[in-house]
């Protein structure tokens, strides 16, 4: 793959983008009706006021060429979605955290080789240091705190704070793997980076990003949301599909942690951020090149993850992107740097797939430049979601039923049977146990991040523990009543 830094350097020297102004937000470039119809067809499922939907922004050469809302921002009040609607963009937020860290490195306030314990001294010593670059590249091995909170009975609807998250992280006395040896997405790493920013700068991540990123770029409707009770004008309500009491239910989060997520923004404001990758207003060429430089493992293997951004290819064209999913919100910001075309798709319905929608929009705008359509299997798509039911004997299933505890989580879980199938249940989670389509993955709970171990529920019939496949959390049979 061509070095992602090269297009940064070329772009920052482009005269055409030297004076980008606010007028680009107000006036979209003229779009042929044929293009508009094809794009609108992508969102036809959501283009009605009795359904949540998505807001779309298409950017070319630093200009907003197409923006539109599809569906409702609030079903109770009948408010439509528009390009000015505010969404929680989930993990798409990570690039703003990464930029904050890299700006502090440029300021000389930290280095990426620093041990995280320099800034978060309550972190356990795991034998090998966890460096800030490990957190940036998801190679730390630290267990995902959002999964831990869910397993401990704290759903995203609950009010939780930095202290709640940090307390759970520091109680984990082991890592999933040695730092730098593997890649695994961990929200804990980026949450910890928010604490690093606070210690290094003397400001909260919200304050730092506001003064160093959002205000300089004119992103007036963007912030890290660290106050669950704050009123946010134009915020779209998040929804999930529902089988009872109507087709949808409200799905909002009261988490106050930042770093791994919690940026609220609009497709209009994201244009400003997209422009920065060509103008260099914030960070300059060196920092922007670092943003898209892939991380590496200890053995030298290059990753397709940089600093808060994934780098790859789509139908022959280089891409830089990051998706997001939190509560009833879904997001994708997909950039084609060599073409200077980007697609932002922000949705307020948990069952939407903005990554797929954004790529379909790119298919329209880049039809003459894209290569042949990709076969999902050939492209290495994750097929773990196509899971077969667990097949265990009735005796093995009955032996697994009961109450389980994990002292590191402080939570209680139960394994129950429903219509002959095992379910893993906490106050925040009830998921069926399934076998992964990938033979090496063993047993797992269908919710990403949780699982049940094959060795403890397999043919030997053992049932003393119930394990989390992703987080390596092991629940022990409780001997206590209640």
pLDDT in tens, 402-425: 655 554 444 445 666 665 566 555
pLDDT of residue 391: 53
Mean pLDDT of 196-204: 99
Whether 389 has a pLDDT exceeding 50, the answer reads no
Nearest-angstrom CA–CA distance, 175 and 162: 20
Q: Tell me the two tokens of residue 347.
A: 């949705």
Whether 307 has a pLDDT exceeding 50, the answer reads yes
Helices 162-170, 187-201: inter-axial angle, 10-degree rounding: 120
* Sign of CA pseudo-dihedral 118, 123, 125, 126: negative
Question: Which of 105, 56, 126, 139 has its CA nearest to residue 344?
Answer: 56
Nearest-angstrom CA–CA distance, 186 and 200: 22
Q: Chain-centre distance of CA 431, in angstroms?
A: 21
Which band of pLDDT confidence, cut at 50, 70 and 90, is reported for residue 446? very low
Nearest-angstrom CA–CA distance, 278 and 282: 10
pLDDT of residue 422: 62
* CA angle in degrees (0–180, nearest 5) for 3-323-239: 170
Q: Chain-centre distance of CA 395, in angstroms?
A: 40
Task: List, as one string, the DSSP characters of 8-33.
Answer: HHHHHT-GGGTT--THHHHSPPP--H
42 by DSSP, 3-state: which? Answer: helix
Which band of pLDDT confidence, cut at 50, 70 and 90, is reported for residue 150? confident
Which band of pLDDT confidence, cut at 50, 70 and 90, is reported for residue 462? very low
Helices 94-106, 284-291: inter-axial angle, 10-degree rounding: 140
211 by DSSP, 3-state: which? Answer: helix
Nearest-angstrom CA–CA distance, 314 and 101: 28
Give 3's contacts (C-beta < 8 A, 6+ positions apart).
Answer: none
Q: Tell me the two tokens of residue 161.
A: 């704070």
* Sign of CA pseudo-dihedral 332, 166, 160, 430: positive
Question: Which of 56, 55, 134, 64 has its CA nearest to residue 101?
Answer: 134
Contact 343, 68 (CB under 8 A): no
Mean pLDDT score across all residues of the chain? 81
The rounded percent of the chain whose pLDDT value lies above 70 is 71
**How far is it between the farthest Cα atoms of the chain?**
73
Question: Which of 437, 443, 448, 475 has its CA nearest to residue 458?
Answer: 443
Pick from 7-21, 315-329, 356-370, 442-456: least confident: 442-456
Torsion of CA 383, 389, 390, 394, to 10 degrees: 180
- 271-306 pLDDT tens trace: 999 999 999 999 999 999 999 999 999 999 999 999
pLDDT of residue 154: 74
Nearest-angstrom CA–CA distance, 455 and 465: 10
Nearest-angstrom CA–CA distance, 445 and 201: 40
- Would you give the end-to-end CA distance of the chain in angstroms? 57
Nearest-angstrom CA–CA distance, 197 and 206: 10
φ, ψ for residue 115 (rounded to 5)?
A: -75, 135
Whether 460 has a pLDDT exceeding 80, the answer reads no
Mean pLDDT of 202-226: 99
Task: List, as one string, the DSSP characters of 135-160.
Answer: HHTT-S-PPPHHHHHHHTT--TTS-B
Question: Which of 233, 228, 97, 150 has its CA nearest to residue 430?
Answer: 150
Whether 344 has a pLDDT exceeding 70, the answer reads yes
Order of strands across the sheet that contains 223-224: 87-88, 263-265, 223-224
The residue among 462 and 62 whose pLDDT is bigger is 62
Which band of pLDDT confidence, cut at 50, 70 and 90, is reported for residue 148? confident
Rg (CA), the chain: 23
Whether 451 has a pLDDT exceeding 60, the answer reads no
DSSP secondary structure letter of residue 213: I
Q: Tally helices (H) and strands (E) across the chain.
A: 15, 21
pLDDT of residue 418: 60
* Sign of CA pseudo-dihedral 265, 283, 209, 250: positive
Pick from 26-35, 125-134, 436-445, 466-475: least confident: 436-445
Nearest-angstrom CA–CA distance, 88 and 141: 26
- 309-341 pLDDT tens trace: 999 999 999 999 999 999 999 999 999 999 999
DSSP secondary structure letter of residue 255: B
pLDDT of residue 29: 61
Contact 454, 432 (CB under 8 A): no
Question: Which of 352, 101, 348 has its CA nearest to residue 232?
Answer: 348
The residue among 428 and 113 whose pLDDT is bigger is 113
Contact 139, 179 (CB under 8 A): yes
């Amino acid at each position: 793959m061509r070095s992602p830094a090269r297009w940064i350097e070329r772009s920052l020297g482009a005269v055409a983008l030297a004076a980008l102004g606010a007028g680009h937000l107000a006036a979209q470039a003229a779009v042929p009706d044929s293009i508009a119809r094809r794009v609108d067809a992508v969102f036809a499922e959501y283009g009605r006021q009795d359904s949540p939907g998505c807001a779309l922004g298409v950017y070319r050469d630093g200009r907003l060429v197409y923006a539109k809302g599809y569906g409702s921002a609030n079903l109770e009040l009948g408010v439509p979605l528009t390009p000015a609607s505010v969404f929680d963009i989930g993990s798409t937020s990570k690039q703003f955290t990464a930029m904050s860290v890299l700006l502090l490195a440029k300021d000389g306030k930290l280095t990426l080789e620093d041990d995280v314990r320099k800034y978060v001294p309550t972190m356990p010593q795991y034998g090998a240091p966890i460096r800030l670059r490990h957190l940036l590249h998801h190679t730390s091995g630290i267990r995902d705190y959002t999964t831990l909170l869910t397993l401990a009975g704290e759903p995203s609807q609950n009010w939780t704070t930095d202290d709640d998250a940090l307390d759970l992280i520091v109680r984990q006395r082991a890592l999933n793997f040695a730092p730098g040896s593997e890649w695994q997405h961990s929200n804990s790493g980026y949450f910890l980076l928010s604490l690093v920013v606070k210690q290094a700068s003397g400001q909260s991540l919200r304050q730092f990003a506001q003064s160093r990123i959002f205000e300089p770029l004119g992103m007036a409707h963007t912030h890290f949301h660290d106050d669950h009770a704050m009123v946010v004008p134009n915020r779209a309500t998040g929804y999930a599909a529902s089988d009872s009491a109507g087709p949808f239910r409200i799905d909002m989060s009261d988490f106050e942690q930042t770093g791994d997520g919690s940026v609220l923004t609009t497709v209009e404001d994201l244009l400003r951020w997209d422009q920065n990758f060509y103008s260099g207003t914030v960070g300059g060429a060196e920092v922007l090149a670092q943003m898209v430089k892939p991380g590496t493992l200890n053995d030298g293997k290059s990753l397709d993850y940089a600093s808060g951004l994934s780098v790859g290819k789509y139908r022959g064209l280089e891409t830089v992107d990051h998706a997001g999913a939190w509560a009833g919100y879904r997001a994708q910001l997909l950039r084609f740097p060599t073409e200077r075309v980007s697609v932002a798709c922000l949705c307020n319905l948990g069952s939407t797939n903005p990554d797929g929608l954004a790529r379909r929009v790119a298919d329209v705008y880049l039809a003459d430049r894209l290569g042949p359509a990709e076969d999902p299997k050939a492209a290495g798509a994750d097929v773990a979601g196509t899971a077969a039911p667990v097949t265990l004997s009735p005796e093995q299933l009955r032996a697994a039923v009961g109450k389980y505890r994990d002292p590191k989580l402080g939570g209680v879980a139960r394994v129950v049977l429903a219509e002959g199938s095992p379910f893993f249940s906490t106050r925040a989670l009830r998921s069926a146990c399934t076998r992964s389509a990938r033979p090496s993955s063993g047993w797992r709970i269908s919710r990403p991040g949780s699982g049940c171990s094959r060795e403890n529920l397999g043919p030997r019939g053992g049932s003393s523990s119930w394990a989390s496949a992703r987080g390596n959390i092991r629940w022990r049979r409780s001997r206590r009543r209640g």
